[in-house]
Structure 1
Amino acid sequence: MTTLRIFSNQSASQSNLRVGARLDKYRIQKRLGEGGFATVYAAFDTIEGRHVAIKIPDDRYVSNSQSLDDLQREVRIMARLDHPGVLQLKNAQFAGDRFLMVFPLGEESLADRMCRRMSRALIVDYLIQMVDAVAFAHENRVLHRDIKPENFILFPDQEIRLTDFGLARIESGMHDVSASGTLGYMSPEQAMGHPSFRSDVFSLGLVLYRMLSGELPEYPFEAPLPGYNRLRRGVSSDLIAIIRKAIDPSPRKRFRDAVAMNNALAKIRYPLSDRSVAQRVGAGRGTRRSTRQAA
């Protein structure tokens, strides 16, 4: 599956919309990314005076009634997720015959940030925010189904937000048999058409494993896992145990959802082996939690 990336430092290239073109109050600045069903542009909101990212589905996709239902579902799911760790949907509308989904413009994706060195403290800061965001989605019965580095967007002040709910569903216990998702991060049962909250936990666990180890284990896992020694470097054994549980091939051995995973993570006061760095726990869900130097 091709990812639509929403961030600000991609090079401009040819697209159906020219630089300077107007869509309602938005002025197109450059194309950021293109997938099989939509294109994402950087644009300027001429009324609010803000830079935004605009996701525009392909015309053929919008003209299909079933596809319109899918777009409406994605919009309604994102509209119900008000959390600092979820990329906010600012607006959804038709501008002429084009359907627009408007978001804040980030700096880059986690996938791109992972190409450069990150400190253990920064990784854990992101990790805590990521688990909290997925937990909030699960609390609201939203199953994401496509958790991967490309779908986390970085913002200033070390903030990271989950995006791209195009495959998301409201969990009801009933699913069509579909292997929708991204190979490499999809759980075994999701690949068989049986996604669940435990599947999102598996995908999230693999993202966290890759962040800390620099390697992405390939299923079926064989011991020793690639990069395992690097994974353990500078990180508490309790945090390693959470990640190992999240990526267990057996769904029943994983956390039942990201809420349970988040609760386990909140109990770890010192996620790094350096005990001068402690976890700061927010007063409630939706409050950012990060690491800080212990007093």
Structure 2
Amino acid sequence: MDIIIGQEIGEYRTESLVARGTNSTIYRGTHLLMGEEVCLKRYDLDIKPAIPIGEADVLSRLQHTEIPKFRNLLSLKDDSYVVVTHFVSGSPLGQAVQKHGNMDPEIVASFLERMLHLLRYMHVDQRCVHGDIKPEHILARTDHSITLVGFGVAEFSSGNWEKNRGWTDLFAPPEQVEGRPLVPQMDLYALGMSMVYLLCGGNEEQFKNGEIPDEVPDPMGRFLSRLVMKDPAKRLNWTQMDLFKEWVEIRFECFKRSTTEGKLLFL
């Protein structure tokens, strides 16, 4: 049963359709009493309850400015589930690059820095793997901040990473496609591929071959190349170094400044 715009769902009212994904539909909504703007992610009926329940569990335990704040998990009368988070206005990087083409390397460098800061929190501090990082799951805002969404296959680990539950072929590393358990290196590969995708303007042939455009500074290109190594043993990881700090230094070497000013023209 489709949700109708204006329909009341528990404590919330749907206001508009935001997007349709492969296994869910996302709506902008409002809390009926508080007036808070929220995101309502309704999973399709054929999705096992473990997926939305798992996403709700992950989001409720992660506390970071660039992760949506968890609000609620609803079970509807038709047995579908709705994950409720605070609403984040932003442009998915996948849509932005499809519309505007190649993204400026300095802008991509800024996004990479923010994502590495976030992944350091997730991987090192919280032992959580996202499992499906891609441009469509990274929302950019006019102040250059980002929000990571799409936590449907994300998992925590207390020692042994759990079974791999899904991925996106274009951005997942070979070992994830083979069905191996989730580990942080998979997120790092997907992040690297996402950044290369932005630099290539969504050109899939160039992107699949791992070609980095000539206008990308050499230190940046070398760092990205080490993120997207097919062999996980050769790929950059957190046990080797603090990747966030390493990237901050490389970014400054490339662009001679640590901040990127001005409006993002694709927003």
TM over 0.5: yes
1:109 to 76, 88, 92: 92
Alignment of structure 1 residues 118-157 onto 2, 5 Å: 118-139=103-124, 140-157=126-143
2:175 to 165, 182, 189: 189
Aligned partners of 1:236 and 1:102: how far apart in 2?
A: 41
Q: For residue 266 of structure 1, what is the aligned residue in structure 2?
A: 248
1:198 to 159, 181, 185: 185
Answer yes or no: is the 8 Å Cα contact 1:236–1:270 preserved in 2. no
2:35 maps to 1:27: no
| Residues 112-155 of structure 1, C-alpha deviations (whole Å, 9 max, x = no match) | 11122544433222221122222221121111111101111223
Aligned partners of 2:4 and 2:21: how far apart in 1?
A: 18
Answer yes or no: is the 8 Å Cα contact 1:87–1:162 preserved in 2. yes
Aligned partners of 1:205 and 1:212: how far apart in 2?
A: 11
Q: For residue 53 of structure 2, what is the aligned residue in structure 1?
A: 72
Query: Structure 1 residues 128, 77: CA separation in 2 closer, same or farther (over 3 Å shift)?
Result: same
Query: Structure 1 residues 58, 47: CA separation in 2 closer, same or farther (over 3 Å shift)?
Result: same
Q: For residue 265 of structure 2, what is the aligned residue in structure 1?
A: none
Q: For residue 62 of structure 2, what is the aligned residue in structure 1?
A: 81
Answer yes or no: is the 8 Å Cα contact 2:5–2:15 preserved in 1. yes
Percent identity of the aligned residues? 21
Aligned residue for 1:167, secondary structure, equals coil
Answer yes or no: is the 8 Å Cα contact 1:242–1:261 preserved in 2. no
Aligned residue for 1:267, secondary structure, equals helix
Aligned partners of 2:251 and 2:4: how far apart in 1?
A: 51
Query: Structure 1 residues 188, 260: CA separation in 2 closer, same or farther (over 3 Å shift)?
Result: farther
CA drift at 1:179: 7.0
Query: Structure 1 residues 45, 156: CA separation in 2 closer, same or farther (over 3 Å shift)?
Result: farther
Write the letter of the residue equivalent to 2:83. Answer: M
Write the letter of the residue equivalent to 2:93. Answer: L
Q: For residue 213 of structure 1, what is the aligned residue in structure 2?
A: 200
Aligned partners of 1:291 and 1:268: how far apart in 2?
A: 14
User: CA RMSD of the aligned region, Å?
Assistant: 2.7
Aligned residue for 1:210, secondary structure, equals helix
| Residues 158-179 of structure 1, C-alpha deviations (whole Å, 9 max, x = no match) | 2211111111122333443x57
CA drift at 1:87: 2.4
CA drift at 1:239: 1.9
Write the letter of the residue equivalent to 1:267. Answer: E
Query: Structure 1 residues 291, 27: CA separation in 2 closer, same or farther (over 3 Å shift)?
Result: same
Aligned partners of 1:197 and 1:260: how far apart in 2?
A: 13
2:246 maps to 1:252: no
Gaps of 5+ in 2: 263-267
CA drift at 1:197: 1.3
Query: Structure 1 residues 98, 269: CA separation in 2 closer, same or farther (over 3 Å shift)?
Result: closer
Write the letter of the residue equivalent to 2:231. Answer: S
1:170 to 141, 147, 156: 156
2:28 maps to 1:42: yes
CA drift at 1:292: 5.5
Write the letter of the residue equivalent to 1:266. Answer: V
Superposed structure 1 runs of 4+ greater than 6 Å apart? none
Aligned partners of 2:81 and 2:237: how far apart in 1?
A: 36
Aligned residue for 1:124, secondary structure, equals helix
CA drift at 1:269: 5.3
